[in-house]
Amino acid sequence: MTISVGDKLPSATLIKVGESGPEPVQAADYFAGKKVALFAVPGAFTPTCSAKHLPGFVEKAADLKAKGIDEIVCTSVNDAFVMGAWGKVSEAQDVTLLADGNGEFAQAVGLTMDGSGFGMGTRSQRYSMVINDGVVEQLNVEAPGTFEVSSADHMLGQL
């Protein structure tokens, strides 16, 4: 079942790209007590994700924070080392990258997709959400092959 506006985030482990290496975090705990702009991509270093999705949130980070966002988080079904490298080459210091290497979070929120036709296996759908103290306030899930409602610009219009 897909998560909906008003739902609390489920329990799932994500891996934070930390200074001293990968750090496991529990989603329910990590998102408690703050307002977060979360966006998910099918894969780090993939065309739309690298050319538009992540750069949009990097570019609009100050605008999002001015509208009350405490933290901007990107998640993908990639390992922490890939997410760390992607963050560095993308100069994404204002975005926290949380690896969902096993797809546990994507499955827990019901937003997986089958990328096996592209050799990618089960991945996260492209989406964004505003999370306030662990509760989903906004949810924007893209139709397959599109990039419109999960952008930083779209989220700014919702805040």
Domains of the chain, by residue range, sit at: 13-154
Catalytic site residue from 17, 37, 38, 49: 49
CA angle 151, 58, 40 (to 5 degrees): 45
Backbone angles phi, psi at 127, to 5 degrees: -160, 170
Residue 85, Cα to own-chain centre: how many angstroms? 16
- Print burial letters for 48-59: b (CB count within 10 Å at least 16), e (below 16): bbbeebbbbbbe
Would you say 106 and 100 are in contact if contact means Cβ atoms under 8 Å apart?
A: yes
pTM for the model: 0.93
- For domain 13-154, the CATH architecture is 3-Layer(aba) Sandwich (3.40)
Matching residue, tokens 């705990």:
29
Residue 49 is a catalytic residue: yes
Would you say 36 and 130 are in contact if contact means Cβ atoms under 8 Å apart?
A: yes
Per-residue confidence in pLDDT tens, the chain, 159 aa: 789 999 999 989 999 987 788 999 999 999 999 999 999 999 888 877 777 889 999 999 999 999 999 999 999 999 999 999 889 989 899 999 999 999 999 999 999 877 777 777 678 999 999 999 999 999 999 998 899 999 999 999 999
Instruction: Please tell me the predicted confidence (pLDDT) of residue 122.
Output: 78
The identity of residue 12, as a single letter, is A
